[in-house]
Amino acid sequence: IAGITQAPTSQILAAGRRMTLRCTQDMRHNAMYWYRQDLGLGLRLIHYSNTAGTTGKGEVPDGYSVSRANTDDFPLTLASAVPSQTSVYFCASSDRDGYGYTFGSGTRLTVV
Amino acid sequence: KQEVTQIPAALSVPEGENLVLNCSFTDSAIYNLQWFRQDPGKGLTSLLLIQSSQREQTSGRLNASLDKSSGRSTLYIAASQPGDSATYLCAAPNQAGTALIFGKGTTLSVSS
């Protein structure tokens, strides 16, 4: 089934630990995105990548890093997790012009 | 900086009622506007995309309109059903055109 796969689906993480959220798409979309969703704040863009090999910062990039080594994968890394990074993280992809926006099912991360 | 606002934040209606959800955006130099649906605990699903050259787009009982000059879009749902209960999010491209910026959504509850 075409779409986006995110892993893990949920995670409890100790503060200070390093964590990588995985995202894979099989639609050959050029662009990929990471958003976080928090109650009362909505969806906020963390990082994006318009094509393999390039990445850019979104609204809330601090404490997160991404890489785009190939078209299909776009991992999000928390170098040293803090409680304020407790959130639901969504990966998305689209074609070059922003059409066909498709979301994964999300990763629920709790930092304690 | 693109900002997207949605009103109301929540709406409860009886089954069969027609309703309108509102979205406003600050940067009218957009090339499209999109509406999404999110069910509890799930990712987002694309409903409608309106290109900047269009004034409206229809899919079944859903009709979305776009007025770039006033920075507004509306989502009209005809003959609402309990299955329409979900959160509806409006999204517009950021100023760089690199990603979508989302409103906080309108949570709709349709009672039978």
Chain centre to alpha carbon of residue B90: 4
Asked if B5 and B90 touch (Cβ cutoff 8 Å), the reply is no
Q: What is the pLDDT of residues B47-102, one digit of tens each?
A: 999 998 888 999 999 999 999 999 999 999 999 999 999 999 999 999 888 899 99
pLDDT of B52 reads: 86
Residue A3 to residue A58: CA distance in whole angstroms? 23
Which of B46, B50, B87, B88 has the highest number of chain A CBs within 10 A, making it the mutation to test binding with A? B46
Q: Using an 8 Å CB-CB cutoff, list chain A residues near B105.
A: 42
Q: What is the pLDDT of residues B16-50, one digit of tens each?
A: 999 999 999 998 888 899 999 999 999 999 999 99
A89–chain B Cβ distance below 8 A for any pair: no
Contact flag B93-A98 (C-beta cutoff 8 Å): yes
Which candidate, B112, B108, B96, places its Cα nearest to that of B22?
A: B108
For A46, nearest residue in chain B (alpha carbons): B99
Kindly give the pairing relationship between strand A102-103 and strand A87-94. Answer: antiparallel
Distances, alpha carbon A19 to alpha carbons A11, A73, A84, in Å: 10, 16, 14
Contact flag B31-A50 (C-beta cutoff 8 Å): no
Contact flag A41-B104 (C-beta cutoff 8 Å): yes
**Least CB-CB distance to A98: which of B32, B89, B103?**
B32
Q: What is the DSSP letter of A5?
A: E
| Regions of chain A where pLDDT drops below 70 | 1
pLDDT of A1 reads: 60
Which of B100, B101, B102, B104 has the highest number of chain A CBs within 10 A, making it the mutation to test binding with A? B100
pLDDT of B97 reads: 86
Residue A14 to residue A25: CA distance in whole angstroms? 28
Token pair 């503060």 is at which residue? A15
Distances, alpha carbon A27 to alpha carbons A1, A7, A47, B4, in Å: 10, 18, 20, 28
Show the 3-state SS of B20-78: EEEEEECCCCCCEEEEEEECCCCCEEEEEEEECCCCEEEECCEEEEEECCCCEEEEEEC
For A50, nearest residue in chain B (alpha carbons): B98
Helix (H, G, I), strand (E, B) or coil at A23: strand
Contact flag A45-B99 (C-beta cutoff 8 Å): yes
Contact flag A102-B46 (C-beta cutoff 8 Å): yes
**From the CA atom positions of chain A, what is the Rg in Å?**
13
Q: Using an 8 Å CB-CB cutoff, list chain A residues near B101.
A: 45, 59
Contact flag A98-B100 (C-beta cutoff 8 Å): yes
Where does A2-106 show beta strands of DSSP type E? 4-7, 10-13, 19-25, 31-38, 42-49, 56-57, 64-66, 76-78, 87-94, 102-103
pLDDT of A96 reads: 77
